[in-house]
Amino acid sequence: MNTPTKPVLPATIAALGIVYGDIGTSPLYAFRACFVGAGRLAVSEANVLGVLSLILWSLLLVVSLKYLAFVMRADNQGEGGILALMSLAIPRRRQSRQNLDESESATVHTLASSATHRKSKTSVIILLGLFGASLLYGDGIITPAISVLSAIEGVHVATNAFDHLVVPTSLVILFALFWFQKRGTANIGRLFGPAMIIWFAVIGVLGVAAIVIYPGVLAAANPIQALQFFSANGFTAFTILGVVFLVVTGGEALYADMGHFGKRPIRFAWFLVVLPSLLLNYYGQGALLLTDASAVSNPFYRLAPSWALIPLVLLATIATVIASQAIISGAFSLTSQAVHLGFLPRVSILHTSKDQQGQVYVPVVNWLMFAGVVALVLAFRTSDHLAAAYGMAVTTTMVITTVLLYIVAVNRWSWNRWFAMPMLGLFLCIDVAFFAANVPKILDGGWFPLLVGVGLCFVMTTWSRGSDLVLGLLRQRSISACDLIDEMKTTLPRRIKATAIYLTSGDEGVPMAMIHNIRHHHAMHDPVGLLTIEVESRPWVPLEKRIEIVRIDSGWYRVVAHYGFKQRPNLPSVIEQCRQQGVDFGELAAITYYLSRLTLDVGNQSAMRRWRKMLFVALARNADDPSRYFHLPPEQVVEIGTRLEI
């Protein structure tokens, strides 16, 4: 099911508020960071024009050409983002499958695609995708901290009497931002677009006013200025490239939010509003420095007349809150996808809008990110210091995106390798250059987002690996439906006229909960449904293709429900669909859902290291309640215990 077409103008306005918040607030700190701090550039005409030339061509090549022209072609039924790209890069066979089985009900959410996982090429693709996704969390923690700090620091231009209040004020604003996440963005989101239109209009006008005074700054449009800058400054110019990269952070958001707004609105918003406004402001800051070098302390705010300074600080604060809101919401969406694909344990996911399925709130992610943001603000205290930590996560993700895009171009789009290599090789060279320029930042704070990314990637791979291990052990214990039917012919269990739905992992075998029920109670429900949820590599599965039903025996059915990785399973609705297809399990209120409460113990299985198994068991024990996750009425759920040693 493709994303429904939306009116271009409203979607374009909405995209301005959600998609471009991060990249749209970069003028607050990006240009200034090139000239402020140890090892930075001296303010001279050659340096200013060289930096502006780098900014212009970075925006054109990375955002306009790479993301808007090429990466956004790699849509998965209209959806974008690194996990969607990963799913496209995986070979066309059954790619990702999420099932319900004994390990599910014991808070283990499996990705039952072990056959695919064993393929080395596929494993590398999955690892790249997971690492890229994990790094976005690190970026999501830094963005609110640096954006809000840079906005509040504008007060210093008017007076330094309130410098001591910058950090406390930033923390208060950040706390309010994270506190209100639980209310969702459905209502406030309508204000984001108009607010960002005002923001882009203001920064563009401020830039024009300065350019009119010093029009010679427009010479920076010539790429020769960038080449001369590198020739004159050598290694220093290379390190500055890592700072210039700040102007394109947020480029991944264009791709990640494609499913919400569509390609055309995102492209229109960029070329008609965002790109012109950003370039005017950056060039305006450059013109200001060439007329007044003392403005280097904060060229963005020095563009404004004194009477407009406080209103500009307030507008910048609103813009940075919007930018932060967008990145936080993106982390919620990413978490939801990872859970559905089986790379994270179940967590509480709350839908905050009745009309928009993508509006979700994940409490544990929200408050973990807030803790990280607070730690960064207290540790770095200024946006200049945070700029040193910014960039490593995003550059690494951009490199991964280009690599996965090459795989998709060759395998999915059937591009000739000799055509794909030079085309995408150009983007890879740019990405690698930015990555290398950011490497020196690792010791100055760039280690933080990398640490977050590596840690989360390790958690995801541990969860997926442990789930496969548990699933394999459970299948060894399981028996086939045919064997159970033969056993029942001997034991002759009594038939209970009541509906039982058992959650199971595949289209073969019988779940442990059903085996225990029959053997211990010598009873068999009538009717019985063995229900499997299969999560596919596409984001949406249309309702008419949702259900597969196979009759196993008299009154005994196997049901497979197909969902996309952006859809959340709803088991009662599956039962209703079965009724529409001629299999009536009776009234929903009279159905009993059987789950197996699996207790995991760390044993001597050699498939995983002991300490990694301990992590997996801890994750499993703290996963969300399956009844709530699958929309099951708690009073209709029966759990049967099973112990398993891994």
pLDDT (tens digit per residue) in 155-173: 777 667 777 788 999 999 9
Distance CA 304, CA 421 (A): 46
Within 8 A by CB and 6+ apart from 511, the residues are: 101, 102, 478, 502, 503, 504, 505, 530, 594, 596
Within 8 A by CB and 6+ apart from 448, the residues are: 138, 141, 142, 376, 389
Distance CA 48, CA 44 (A): 6
Looking at the predicted structure, is the pLDDT value of residue 113 above 70? Answer: no
**552 three-class SS:** strand
In sequence order, the β-bridge partners of residue 557 are 529, 551
Flag the least confident range among 240-244, 275-279, 306-310, 629-633: 629-633
* Per-residue confidence band for 210, with pLDDT thresholds at 50, 70 and 90: very high
Tokens at 294, concatenated: 């003392």
* Per-residue confidence band for 507, with pLDDT thresholds at 50, 70 and 90: low
Chain centre distance of CA 489: 52
Q: What pLDDT, on a 0 to 100 scale, did the predictor assign at position 521?
A: 82
Looking at the predicted structure, is the pLDDT value of residue 446 above 90? Answer: no
542 burial via Cβ count (<10 Å: 0-12, 13-18, 19+): exposed
Q: What pLDDT, on a 0 to 100 scale, did the predictor assign at position 455?
A: 92
Hey, how many other C-beta atoms are within 10 angstroms of the C-beta on 342? Answer: 25
* Per-residue confidence band for 187, with pLDDT thresholds at 50, 70 and 90: low
Hey, how many other C-beta atoms are within 10 angstroms of the C-beta on 558? Answer: 21
Phi first, then psi, for residue 393 (nearest 5°) are -65, -45
Looking at the predicted structure, is the pLDDT value of residue 343 above 80? Answer: yes
**What share of residues in the chain are helix, strand, coil (percent, to 5)?**
65, 10, 25
In sequence order, the β-bridge partners of residue 525 are 496
Q: Give the chain's mean pLDDT.
A: 83
Q: What is Dmax (Cα atoms) for the chain?
A: 96
Between 618 and 642, whose confidence is greater? 618
pLDDT in tens, 15-61: 887 788 889 989 988 999 899 865 678 899 999 999 999 999 999 99
Between 392 and 184, whose confidence is greater? 392
Q: Burial code of 63-84, b = ≥16 C-beta within 10 A, e = fewer?
A: beebbbeebbebbbbbbbbbbb
Alpha helices by DSSP H, 342-391:
363-380, 383-387
Q: DSSP letter at 546?
A: S
Distance CA 296, CA 288 (A): 9
pLDDT in tens, 403-445: 999 999 998 888 888 888 988 899 999 999 999 998 888 888 8
Instruction: Please state the pTM of the whole predicted model.
Output: 0.80
Q: Which residue type sits at 341?
A: L
* Per-residue confidence band for 514, with pLDDT thresholds at 50, 70 and 90: confident
CB 636 within 8 A of CB 592: yes
Tell me whether the omega of the peptide bond preceding residue 527 falls within 30 degrees of 0, making it cis.
yes
* Per-residue confidence band for 205, with pLDDT thresholds at 50, 70 and 90: very high
* Per-residue confidence band for 13, with pLDDT thresholds at 50, 70 and 90: confident
